[in-house]
Structure 1
Amino acid sequence: MLRIFTAILSIFLLAISVSYVNHKIQLSKEDELFVPTGQLVEVNGHKMHIYTEGNGEEMLVFMSGSGTSSPVLDFKSLYTLLSDQYRIVVVEKAGYGFSEVTDRNQDIDTMLSETRKALLKSGVEGPYILFPHSMSGIEALNWAQVYPDEVKAIIGLDMAVPAVYENFDMNMSFVRLGAFAANIGVPRWIKNLSESDAIHYGTLTDEEKELYKVIFYRRTLTKDMVNEIKNSKANAQKVNEAGIPNVPMLLFSSNGQGTGFDEEMWIEIQNDFITRNSNAMLIELDSSHYVHSIKYERIAEESVKFIGGLRD
């Protein structure tokens, strides 16, 4: 039994070593492709990536969901349909996309503070129309609560609301195991794991698809992403206690696929949220969680109508 155990352990350690060495070699080869497409600004001692496009009067700020490796490419199918009328901005938080990985505590105050500082340092001033996806819905609501003059409206892309996290009990040991696997290059051995919905359904070019994969292998379950997940329940509770901000909202809801909830429960949570805001509406989409990568034409069309109504 001891010999068997020793043999299994040796094979396991060898597999880890091979994967790690291969990962480092591939990262080195991919360095020349990992070039920021926007502006890097220094915030609290680390660099954050801000991408801007378009020259319109309204400022649309796209905020990625938890664990999205490349926010700039993830939102591209949608914002290219809007940048001819508006100025669009994609914020990549610490540990996402081209932004540096840190080991900071990702509580709601830190995330919002760094997002605001990065925007101001890049010359992007409000008021903003926020486009949060998934977990960043909590940050968007907090933004409207704390700085109401800076948020003109929220257009939620299957965004999370506080009620989503009431019974949230993420297994952090499993999350950290996933982070370890990412750090030693395990995702490289799993076919199609790097192919996101943006790649499958969006309008990315072949070069952009390859870049997305390059970023994915560097920005999967980073320290910042893990810390954000760890703080998600406390962040949502803080936002819930402050109440729903009085700001116009248009929410696009998925069919629940990819959220951890079934369709009936997910839609119920979204509907319950908007009934407590007289200036909010919900559009249900037959789509999985990354709605902006699948139903981008419908979302762009309805967003233009909604933003036009804000001027009336």
Structure 2
Amino acid sequence: MKKVGKVLLIVAGSLIGLIVLFFGSVYVVNCISEARESKKIEPYGKLMEVGEKKMNVEITGTGSETVVLLPGFLTGSPVIDFTQLTTELAKKYQVVVIEPFGYGLSESTEKERTLEAISTEIHQVLGKLKINRYTLMGHSISGIYTLDYINRYPDEVTAFVGIDSSVPNQPGGEDNQGDSLKLLGDSGLYRLLTKVTPEMIAYPEVDAHLKEQFRMISLKNMGNSSNVSESKNMKANFEAAKRLSYPTDFPVLFILAKASENDTVGWISLHEEMLSGLTEGKMVVLEGEHYLHHTKSPEIAKLYEEFMTSQSTDELE
């Protein structure tokens, strides 16, 4: 029995040693890879001071009307993510892609990611750019942030376009991952998981070079202080948004992905509720997945142009 116990102790010790060696190797590989990749990430856009940090913004197109694009939660590089949509919209409009703190090439911040903080920072950026009339077009979680923003600055926002955007009452909307994001990023496990399952990163339909840039930026940002705080504040932000609504005469266009109805119970009806009572509300459902702008950018741009043209026609009448 003593021999058996000894053998079990040796086996247990060996297993623990292997586990420690495995996680240690994953951590070291991640540190080395991050150091190498930091030198390969190519700058784009323009860094602007917001408070004590710098936020990255890219502007394309020269149209007289401005569209401000805002990303979904944990989008590695919003500028690259919106490449196809930006290309389409820039044919007619000035397009501003804002990378919030912790996203893309923007710096991370220790400031809590509350609705007020996020809205105020976006407003400061647009103010510095001297842009005071614009459409907000947001993907996913930006539906919550823009709802707050529109209520804070109603005289500046001309319309909102939600690309499969979140709504306050959606089931599971308050779920968050908190410190697990930091663990995934710091330990190197996220890098390993994306190697085993590449589809964990929602790549846009761009060339191989931009996809590699997107991958490196996504890995760099995972678990930074901003997205951990955003995750922890998600429940409170959804709760706060439940007290908000769009102004009755405010133009809202929801462009939803048909597949999301299978992922979130009542997805379409919840958006219909948000439009209820609005004089200028419209919803369109397109075939596709949640990252609708990766596959339907021409359709989104066309729907937006038609929607805004109809608003102008109504005003003339």
Q: Same-fold call, TM > 0.5?
A: yes
Q: Would you say 1:22 and 2:29 are equivalent positions?
A: yes
Give the length in aligned residue pairs.
303
Quick one: percent identity of the two aligned structures? 28
Q: 1:45 to 1:258 in 2, by over 3 A?
A: farther
Q: Would you say 1:144 and 2:146 are equivalent positions?
A: no
Q: Deviations over 1:113-154 (max 9, x none)?
A: 111112223x14121100111111111111111110111000
Give TM-score, length-normalised by structure 1: 0.90
**Residue 182 of structure 1: aligned partner:** 185
Q: Would you say 1:67 and 2:63 are equivalent positions?
A: no
Computing the radius of gyration from Cα coordinates, the structure with the larger value is 2
| Correspondences of 1:22-171 after superposition (within 5 Å) | 22-121=29-128, 123-164=129-170, 168-170=173-175
Q: Tell me the amino acid that sits aligned with residue 90 of structure 1.
A: V
Structure 1 residue 242, shift from structure 2 partner: 3.1
**Structure 2: stretches of 5+ with no match in the other structure:** 1-7
| Correspondences of 1:262-281 after superposition (within 5 Å) | 262=265, 265-281=266-282
Q: What CA RMSD, in Å, does the superposition of the two structures yield over aligned residues?
A: 2.1
Alpha-carbon distance between aligned partners in 1 of 2:53 and 2:14, rounded to the nearest angstrom: 44
Alpha-carbon distance between aligned partners in 2 of 1:302 and 1:127, rounded to the nearest angstrom: 20
Give TM-score, length-normalised by structure 2: 0.88
Alpha-carbon distance between aligned partners in 2 of 1:301 and 1:192, rounded to the nearest angstrom: 34
Structure 1 residue 294, shift from structure 2 partner: 1.6
Q: 1:5 to 1:255 in 2, by over 3 A?
A: farther
Structure 1 residue 193, shift from structure 2 partner: 2.5
Q: Deviations over 1:199-219 (max 9, x none)?
A: 3xx2x2222111111111112
Question: Which deviates the most, 49-58 or 300-309?
Answer: 300-309
Q: 1:213 to 1:171 in 2, by over 3 A?
A: closer
| SS of alignment partner, residue 164 of structure 1 | coil
| Correspondences of 1:298-309 after superposition (within 5 Å) | 298-309=299-310
| Correspondences of 1:151-300 after superposition (within 5 Å) | 151-164=157-170, 168-170=173-175, 172=177, 175-189=178-192, 190-193=195-198, 196-199=201-204, 202=205, 204-246=206-248, 247-257=250-260, 260-262=263-265, 265-300=266-301
Structure 1 residue 86, shift from structure 2 partner: 0.5
Alpha-carbon distance between aligned partners in 2 of 1:184 and 1:68, rounded to the nearest angstrom: 20
Structure 1 residue 58, shift from structure 2 partner: 0.8
Q: Tell me the amino acid that sits aligned with residue 153 of structure 1.
A: A
Structure 1's consecutive aligned runs of 4 or more residues displaced over 6 angstroms after TM superposition are none
Alpha-carbon distance between aligned partners in 2 of 1:298 and 1:279, rounded to the nearest angstrom: 20
Q: Deviations over 1:181-227 (max 9, x none)?
A: 2222223323352674443xx2x222211111111111224321121
**Structure 1: stretches of 5+ with no match in the other structure:** none
